[in-house]
Copies of this chain bind each other. A is one copy, B any other.
Amino acid sequence: MKALIPIANGSEEMEAVIVTDTLRRARWEVVLAGLSDGPITASRGVKLVPDAAWEQIDPADFDILILPGGTGGANLFMKHDGVQQALRDFDADGKWIAAICAAPRALNKAGLLERRRFTCYPGVEEAMPNLTRSDESVVVDGRLITSQGPGTSFEFALRIIAECDNPAVSDEVRRGMLL
């Protein structure tokens, strides 16, 4: 499995790093794609060097598009034409999409949350009128996986592995991380 994870200034570093590390433990290929040049400064000041610039990759090469949260990063995902187009393309192609914390707003901006069950960081749904947040840690609706925040990041990543790949692999990775 190949996962594309955009990161931008203000992305939540725990959410980005927990998902990346956990998927790599499942032997997935993961690319952290930066929306700006050079290292990004995440929401609590951790500086991450992307594996590639967004412009250098082709989203069509990936099986799943995963958006970490962080208000600043999610705002940039809402404004970025490439990320918005990739979300619509993944949805149209029946490929997996996942988002956590504030990032479901970027899915909504791309028109992907109507008539879908989803969750997000409690309160973030107030910026999405007419939509109702499910109160589960992780919600799977078709090929859309959403989750709530830093404390649900491990469950989010392990569920992505279980749903898109193999529950046994997910369990093995869980045990190795002592969860």
In the complex the two chains form, what is the Cα distance from A152 to B174 in whole Å?
Answer: 12
Give the residue of B25, B47, B152 whose beta carbon is less than 8 angstroms from that of A48: B47
Q: Does A46 belong to the interface (CB within 8 Å)?
A: yes
User: In whole angstroms, how far apart are the Cα atoms of A12 and B154 in the complex?
Assistant: 15
A179 to B155 Cα, complex, angstroms: 12
Return the contact of A151 from the options B45, B46, B152, B177 (Cβ within 8 A). Answer: B177
Residue A55 CB within 8 A of the other chain: no
CB distance from A49 to the nearest CB of B (A): 4
Most buried by B among A14, A49, A151: A14
In the assembled complex, which residues on chain B have CB atoms less than 8 Å from the CB atom of A49?
A: 39, 47-49
The DSSP consensus for interface residues of chain A is mixed
Chain copies in the assembled complex: 2
Which residue of B25, B39, B44, B179 contacts A21 across the interface (Cβ within 8 Å)? B44
Can you name the residue of chain B whose Cβ is closest to the Cβ of A148?
Answer: B178
A98–B42 Cα distance when bound, in Å, is 24
Cβ-based interface call for A24 (8 A)? yes
Query: Which of B32, B150, B152, B178 is within 8 Å of A150, CB to CB?
Result: B178
Interface residues of A (CB under 8 A from B): 12-14, 17-18, 20-22, 24-25, 32, 39, 42-49, 51, 121-122, 148-152, 154, 174, 177-179
